[in-house]
Amino acid sequence: MPFNRKHLLGLEELSAEEITAILDAADTFKEISERPIKKVPALRGKTIANLFYEPSTRTRLSFELAEKRLSADSVSFSKQGSSVSKGETLRDTVENIQAMKVDMVVMRHQSSGAHRFLANFLDASIINAGDGQHEHPTQALLDMMTLRQRWKTFAGKRVTIIGDIMHSRVARSNIWGLTKLGASVTVCGPATMMPASVESLGEGGVTVEHDVRAAIAEADAINILRVQLERQKGRLFPSMREYFDVFGVTAEVLSHAPEHCIVMHPGPMNRGVEIGQEVADGDRAVILEQVTNGVAVRMAVLFLLAGGSLDAGTLQ
Amino acid sequence: MIDWKDKREFWIAGARIADPAAERMRVGSVLVQRGAIAEIVWQKSVDTDLPVLEADRFVLAPGFIDVHAHLREPGFEDKETIETGTAAAASGGYTAVLCMANTNPPIDDPSIVEYLGRRAALVGHCRLYIAGALTKGLQGEIINEYGLLKHAGVSALSDDGRWVTNSQVMRTALEYACQHGLPVIAHCEDSFLAQSSLMNEGYHSTRLGLRGNPAAAEEIAVSRDIMLAALTGAHLHVAHVSTAGAVDLIRRAKKRGVRVTAEATPHHLTLDDSLLESYDTNLKVQPPLRGRKDIEALRAGLLDGTIDCVATDHAPHTEIDKDVEFDEAPPGMIGLETAFAHLHTALVKTGAVDLLDLVRFLTARPAEALELPGGCLKKDAPADLVLIDPEEEWTLDRALIRSRSRNTPLVGTAFTGRVQGIFLEGKWRSAIMA
């Protein structure tokens, strides 16, 4: 299946076939990171700029490693210590970077729609590494890759996403991706962190549940979101201890899920807030596997957007 | 052929005349003498030695009146000035605009009112009415000197852009404004519920990850202000109504006899929140674009008289202001130059509203709502008129916008119906650049 897009702005605009094409490519790329020499020349000569307007550890390192393993030349930039602190606009910053002949721009930005804005005038490919509370497509893709490696198919499966749905770009991208591929999604969290009409989101909508035990009763996987205090305007729940008591996923809570149900978390985890210690470190958790898959997914996305096709010999 | 243009006496012959007081449009001819309407005759041609403008392709109506425009002077002259704002108004068919008080400094002192009056006389392209600030510095704390402001020439009072959150201050403002016979134009939006909001709250705000502004924010504010208007007997004018619930609240208040009037903007009457998926900052307005049901309710309200009139909320911002991330952009779009064509295309050509009604919403009804002169066709009244070609098809060209700012999502939009120009006290100003 050819993948002919210039940008990866979000999963809402992708078809099921396009998502599957990325996941297929990612499965292929995963093996490279297992090699003693973890490098292929697939993007040799391509230049990639990583622009991180928001703090990031995992996503940024994951993209940088993906770029290096594909032999791209990459430079990274964060909001601290850049011209942003001198008042330069986003448009000017990115146009200047493009003037240095960059082929791809990976960006995380606090404003929803920032990538769509750049796509209006940028020639380089744009990869969304998270925009405000809108989408975080590569996170959802790596979550789906992790699930698909166990399930083979999404049809008939249920994923429960627990936490601050309103402020979560991870939730939005997962809802679009999972429902397009045929999985059912339940969202669970405080009523104050449920966005309007969330039940209509995704292909065919999602189920909304406020009782965490009921929400996971039929889940094949649960995805626990971090409580994003930095995005909330005003307090949307009374205290951390109350959150943990009502929505925290502890071993006792998890005992209400089917035995085969696995536990995901996009990180960074707040242990003792949204996830209990014994769950985070338990044998149902696939959290580190997600991180491993993240590199493969990002290699796949970079490769496909650069116009690559997986013919024999590409990955030697 | 064009010798009527600079004459002090001429006929406009054979136009379809849209008189807001009449049942329907009729073909007639109007004699303009020394800046006033000297005669209206219901015949297609006139036997005269005076110059004649042959107007049988056109509709002739009273000049439009906009009761809600931000002309940005003083303080934000990079966005708009009295000169450019009134030029934009004139090319949109307006012979009068009311400018809002959120300038820098705000219009909260008689000296600024006098300054604006002098600017309008010097460089204005249409009549200027002025709203004085309701509270000092638009801070919502201390009421202004309404007596002095009225004496200096304000026609209304408003803290537009902000809601007066303190109900006691609003009560005092309404009581005192009532004593001075000045209407209070209220920007009804609960500032806590709407805090940091970027668009209408609903499916699309959830989908796009843009913080939502719930309809309740407007409806709570409208409810309180209606109650205070009832308590004080003051004249409350609700600016830019955007929700179905607010229309309903105003309808019921009018039925009870509360002195409330209201306006709706061309964009709230036509554009819905699904358009925001482009993240085009020119679609970011306050109150935000709402859903289809709200649009239908606004249209019904306009037709049944709940909404008195159309007002543009012309809100110029520079390209520098708007060419940024969505959450960084200031809210507002310009509207003076497109209001008629936009509504004629969306409402009249689709059969939802007839042309004479649209003319009423732009003329007699705003004049009546805010007790301003004009908006009618009367013998001996100033010849403030607009000439319209209802069939002309045209496309909005960014380069030909007369406002100093170009923040409109309508660039490239095809319209049917175009303002040809206005007569201001009988003096012709073409709307179309050569």
Residue A182 lies in a domain: yes
Closest CA of chain A from B203, distance in Å:
5
Pair A168, A40 in one domain: no
CB of B319 within 8 Å of a chain A CB? The answer is: no
Sheet architecture: strand order including A221-224: A207-209, A184-188, A158-162, A221-224, A262-264
Candidate from B195, B198, B201 with C-beta closest to A196: B201
Residue-level pLDDT at B433: 74
Pair A269, A284 in one domain: yes
**Residues B368-382 pLDDT 10s:** 999 999 999 999 999
Residue A170 lies in a domain: yes
Is the predicted pLDDT of residue B55 greater than 60, yes or no? yes
Amino acid in position A130: G
In words, the CATH class of domain B93-369 is alpha beta
Query: Mean pLDDT for chain B?
Result: 97
- Calpha distance B428→A99 (Å, rounded): 50
- Calpha distance A54→A209 (Å, rounded): 31
Q: Do B209 and A172 touch (CB under 8 A)?
A: yes
Pair A113, A148 in one domain: no
**Residues A112-151 pLDDT 10s:** 999 999 999 999 999 999 999 999 999 999 999 999 999 9
Closest CA of chain B from A250, distance in Å:
29
Pair A65, A117 in one domain: yes
Pair A26, A75 in one domain: yes
Strand partners, B387: B60, B421
Show Cβ contacts of residue B126 under 8 Å, excluding neighbours closer than 6 positions.
B63, B86, B89, B90, B94, B95, B96, B97, B422, B424
Domain count, chain A: 2
CATH number at residue A42: 3.40.50.1370
- Three-state SS string over A108-163 comes to EECCCCHHHHHHCCCCCEEEEEEECCCECHHHHHHHHHHHHHHHCCCCCCEEEEEC
Residue, of B434 and A279, whose pLDDT is higher: A279
Chain B CB contacts of A197 under 8 Å are 202-203, 206
Residue-level pLDDT at A236: 85
**Residues A46-86 pLDDT 10s:** 999 999 999 898 999 999 999 999 999 999 988 775 666 66
State the average pLDDT over residues B173-187.
Answer: 98
Pair A112, A222 in one domain: no
Q: Do B327 and A195 touch (CB under 8 A)?
A: no
Cis peptide before B288 (omega within 30 of 0): no
Q: Do B328 and A197 touch (CB under 8 A)?
A: no
Q: Among residues of chain B, what percentage have pLDDT more than 90?
A: 97
Residue A257 lies in a domain: yes
CB of B326 within 8 Å of a chain A CB? The answer is: yes
Instruction: Note down the domain range covering A104.
Output: 16-135+294-305
Residue A4 lies in a domain: no
Closest CA of chain B from A130, distance in Å:
11
State pTM to two decimals: 0.94
CB of A111 within 8 Å of a chain B CB? The answer is: yes
Integer CA distances (angstroms), B125 to A306, B26, B75, B94, B114, in order: 55, 29, 20, 10, 18
Pair A233, A155 in one domain: yes
Q: Do A196 and B327 touch (CB under 8 A)?
A: no
Question: What are B328's two structure tokens?
Answer: 């960084």
Pair A284, A141 in one domain: yes
Which ranges of chain A have pLDDT less than 50? none
Helices (H) and strands (E) in chain B — how many of each?
Answer: 12, 18
- Known catalytic residues of B are 313
Residue A5 lies in a domain: no
**Residues B330-383 pLDDT 10s:** 999 999 999 999 999 999 999 999 999 999 999 999 999 999 999 999 999 999
Percent helix, percent strand, percent coil in chain B, to nearest 5 = 30, 25, 45
Residue-level pLDDT at B1: 42
Residue A6 lies in a domain: no
CB of B214 within 8 Å of a chain A CB? The answer is: yes
